[in-house]
């Protein structure tokens, strides 16, 4: 029965992880209540699963990677709810609830390695994994480009260019208004985040078909990808939650571009993703 309860917990963690973003970034009370209730139910069913898992094994310590992942997810969720109860700090859930879901998701697939029903199904999942991550990186690039163009347009406006053919700013007359650039940067960022999340989640399922096991999550490129996911979250928090706009948002986006380039550079040290020559 512990497998049933952890699957219920995984579904509820996923729902709470979705609800926490409008709750924190949009400061919506209805979503805030939904996030707390869904997360609380997930934590309860997770607790039941852990108790049944250890009781059935007649021991009090975890054995095996999947049991450790489940207990780590339980600890992350428990720490989050403790902080929320003491300090009403729901923003921490943007990191804690998705992390709990990622940690619980693989154990919820079953005690044995997941097997795809056919090579065709595996290939479909693989294509979805690649497309989702490429869309995420493309969206981030568009967001960064919009932020950089925002800086250029802002400098152009402050310099008060004189109309005429000989103005040095003439070639940049095509730039849209600052508000448009800001909205494009925000919209592309919000589009890329679920793509990045879906790509990482699908990759976690795909690795079950391989012999890598838990060592997959120790690969430098995988670690860097999860770091990139954290950068996405930080950008969303700063732009929407903290109201970061304009020049400061552009500088933060530039730092994110450096982080993204580092993720691609780490690929050359990866044993899992090697897109270059072998």
Structure confidence by residue, pLDDT tens digits, 69-126: 889 899 999 999 999 999 988 988 888 998 899 888 888 877 666 677 788 888 898 8
Using an 8 Å Cβ cutoff, are 224 and 232 in contact?
Answer: no
Secondary structure letter of residue 76 according to DSSP:
H
The distance of Cα 245 from the centroid of its chain, to the nearest Å, equals 21
Query: What is residue 276's predicted lDDT score, i.e. its pLDDT?
Result: 40
- Please report, in angstroms and rounded to a whole number, the separation of the first and last CA atoms in the chain: 45
Residue 113, token pair as written in the block: 């390695």
- Give dist(CA 24, CA 85) in Å, integer: 16
Using an 8 Å Cβ cutoff, are 127 and 221 in contact?
Answer: no
Query: Which of 19-28, 73-82, 118-127, 208-217 is predicted most confidently?
Result: 73-82
Using an 8 Å Cβ cutoff, are 149 and 156 in contact?
Answer: no
- Give dist(CA 21, CA 241) in Å, integer: 10
- Nearest to residue 186, comparing CAs of 135, 228, 237? 237
H or E segment and range at residue 235: helix 220-236
Q: Report DSSP letters for 78-117, one per residue.
A: HHHHHHHHHH--GGGHHHHHHHHHHHHHHHHT-SSPP--S
- Give dist(CA 115, CA 117) in Å, integer: 6
Average pLDDT of the chain, as a whole number: 79
Q: What is the 3-state secondary structure (H, E, C) of 143-166?
A: HHHHHHHHHHHHHHHHCCCCCCCC
- Nearest to residue 145, comparing CAs of 179, 181, 174? 181
pLDDT in tens, 45-84: 999 999 988 888 777 777 777 788 889 899 999 999 999 9
pTM of the model: 0.74
- Nearest to residue 102, comparing CAs of 134, 139, 77, 131? 77
Confidence of residue 183 (pLDDT cuts 50, 70, 90): confident
- Give dist(CA 278, CA 276) in Å, integer: 6
Using an 8 Å Cβ cutoff, are 249 and 147 in contact?
Answer: yes
**DSSP-derived 3-state class of residue 230:** helix
Using an 8 Å Cβ cutoff, are 243 and 251 in contact?
Answer: no
Rg for the chain, CA atoms, rounded: 22
Write phi, then psi, for 245 (nearest 5 degrees): -140, 170
């Amino acid at each position: 029965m512990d497998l049933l309860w952890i699957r219920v917990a995984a579904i509820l963690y996923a729902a709470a992880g979705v609800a926490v973003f409008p709750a924190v970034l949009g400061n919506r009370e209805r979503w805030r209540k939904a996030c707390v209730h869904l997360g609380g139910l997930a934590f309860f069913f997770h607790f039941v699963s852990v108790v049944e898992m250890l009781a059935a094994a007649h021991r009090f310590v975890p054995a095996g990677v999947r049991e450790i992942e489940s207990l780590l997810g339980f600890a992350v969720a428990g720490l989050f709810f403790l902080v929320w109860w003491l300090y009403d700090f729901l923003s921490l859930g943007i990191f804690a609830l998705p992390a709990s879901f990622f940690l619980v998701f693989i154990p919820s697939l079953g005690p044995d390695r997941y097997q795809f029903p056919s090579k065709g199904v595996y290939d479909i999942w693989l294509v979805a994994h690649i497309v989702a991550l490429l869309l995420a990186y493309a969206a981030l690039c568009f967001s960064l480009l919009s932020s950089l163009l925002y800086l250029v347009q802002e400098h152009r406006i402050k310099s008060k260019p004189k109309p005429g053919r000989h103005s040095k700013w003439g070639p940049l007359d095509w730039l849209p208004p600052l508000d448009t650039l800001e909205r494009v940067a925000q919209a592309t960022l919000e589009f890329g985040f679920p793509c990045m999340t879906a790509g990482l989640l699908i990759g976690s399922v795909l690795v079950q078909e391989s012999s890598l096991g838990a060592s997959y999550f120790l690969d430098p490129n995988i670690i860097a990808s999860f770091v990139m996911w954290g950068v996405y979250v930080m950008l969303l928090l700063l732009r929407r939650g903290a109201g970061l706009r304009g020049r400061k948002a552009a500088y933060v986006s530039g730092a994110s571009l450096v982080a993204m380039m580092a993720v691609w550079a780490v690929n050359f040290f990866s044993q899992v993703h090697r897109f270059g020559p072998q």
